[in-house]
């Protein structure tokens, strides 16, 4: 499904990585590892199509993601290390607005349900500025509850989460893989995710 072919990344005058290739099939999870500055985030952004590789190609279902463009993005869910939530809006408003801008219809009840699952019930209408770091991260993660797109690309999803929330997130990702979804993620925390196949890619080794 997702193939990376000989990817090369240059930032400024430095070559972060080159010759990165892998293939990922349905129900598989790719763990991206490497030191700080090895280019993990750069690789994830490359897989999303945000930044073009210096050389090489990313393919989705056999076609280049540059050619697929919107068709690829309709299959993709990306969670960066930025939360992409608005401080001025409440968690509920954030969730609804981001779903709409992503081109999806999300009913208010489903959104409330998702917020309850991430443990934010009672705070749906509080302005996000007053939430803690971990709670803001949960608002961002609430997107994943209703997310039915096949490819998830997650950049450090466990950062700022407590043990309870980590368990919940592991479950959500596991369920996504069980449905036949794909996931690529980076993390510094040791987590066990129940998946058909877990692959590990080490950058800068």
Partner 1 sequence: MFRIVSHTIARDLRLALRRPADLASVLFFFIIVASLFPLGVGPEVDLLRQLAPGVLWVGALLATQLSLPRLFADDYRDGTLEQLALSPNPLGLMVLGKVIAHWLVSGLPLALLAPVLGLQFDLPTDALWVLAGSILLGTPALSGIGAIGAGLTLGLRGGGVLLSLLVLPLYIPVLIFGAGAVDASVSGLGPGAHLSLLAALTVGGLAFAPWAAAAALKIALE
Partner 2 sequence: MRMIHWFKFSAPSTFYPLAGKLIPWFWALFAGFALAGLWISFFVAPTDFQQGEGYRIIFIHVGASWMSMFIYLVMAFWAGMGLAFNTRLSGMMAQALAPTGALFAFISLWTGALWGKPMWGTWWVWDARLTSELILLFLYIGFIALTRAIDDSRRSDKAGAILALVGVVNIPIIYFSVKWWNTLHQGASVSLTRAPAMASIMLWGMLFSAFAMWMYAVAVALMRVRTIILERERHTDWVRELLLDRS
Which residues of this protein are in contact with partner 2, per CB under 8 A?
A: 11-13
13 binds, among partner 2, partner 1, none (CB under 5 to 8 A by kind): partner 2
**What does the per-residue mask of binding to partner 1 show for 125-164, with x meaning CB under 8 A?**
--x-------------------------------------
| Binding pattern for the stretch 69-98 against partner 1, x by CB under 8 A and - elsewhere | -xx-xx-x-x-xxxxxxxxxx---x---xx
Q: Which does 12 bind (CB under 5 to 8 A by kind): partner 1, partner 2, none?
A: partner 2
> Helix, strand, coil % (nearest 5) of the chain?
35, 25, 40
Residue 197 CB, nearest approach to partner 1 (Å): 26
With CA atoms as reference, report the closest residue to 119 among 179, 167, 156, 81: 167
Least distance to partner 1 from the beta carbon of 147, Å? 13
153 DSSP β-pair partners: 78, 184
What's the DSSP call for residue 158? Answer: T
Cβ proximity to partner 2, 8 vs 124, nearer residue: 8
Report the distance separating Cα 81 and Cα 79, nearest Å: 7
**Cα–Cα distance measured from residue 177 to residue 179, given in angstroms and rounded to the nearest whole number:** 5
Which residue's CB is nearer to partner 1, number 131 or number 195? 131
- Kindly write down the DSSP assignment for every residue of 88-130, as one continuous string: TS-HHHHHHHHHHHTT----HHHHHHHHHHTT-TT-TTS-GGG
Binding positions for partner 1, rule: CB under 8 A: 48-52, 70-71, 73-74, 76, 78, 80-89, 93, 97-98, 100-103, 127
């Amino acid at each position: 499904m997702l193939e990376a072919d000989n990817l090369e990344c240059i930032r400024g005058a430095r070559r972060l990585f080159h010759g990165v290739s892998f293939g990922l099939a349905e129900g598989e999870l790719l763990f991206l590892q490497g030191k700080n500055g090895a280019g993990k985030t750069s690789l994830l952004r490359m897989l999303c199509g945000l930044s073009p590789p210096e050389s090489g190609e990313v393919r989705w279902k056999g076609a280049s993601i540059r050619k697929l463009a919107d068709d690829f993005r309709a299959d993709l869910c990306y969670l960066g290390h930025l939360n992409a939530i608005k401080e001025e809006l409440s968690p509920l408003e954030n969730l609804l607005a981001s779903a709409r801008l992503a081109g999806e219809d999300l009913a208010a009840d489903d959104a409330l349900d998702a917020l309850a699952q991430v443990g934010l019930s009672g705070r749906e209408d509080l302005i996000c500025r007053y939430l803690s770091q971990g709670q803001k991260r949960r608002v961002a993660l609430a997107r994943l509850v209703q997310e039915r797109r096949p490819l998830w690309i997650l950049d450090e999803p466990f950062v700022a989460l407590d043990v309870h929330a980590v368990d919940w997130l592991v479950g959500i990702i596991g369920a996504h893989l069980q449905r036949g979804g794909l996931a690529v993620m980076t993390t510094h925390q040791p987590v066990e995710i129940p998946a058909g196949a877990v692959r590990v890619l080490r950058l800068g080794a």
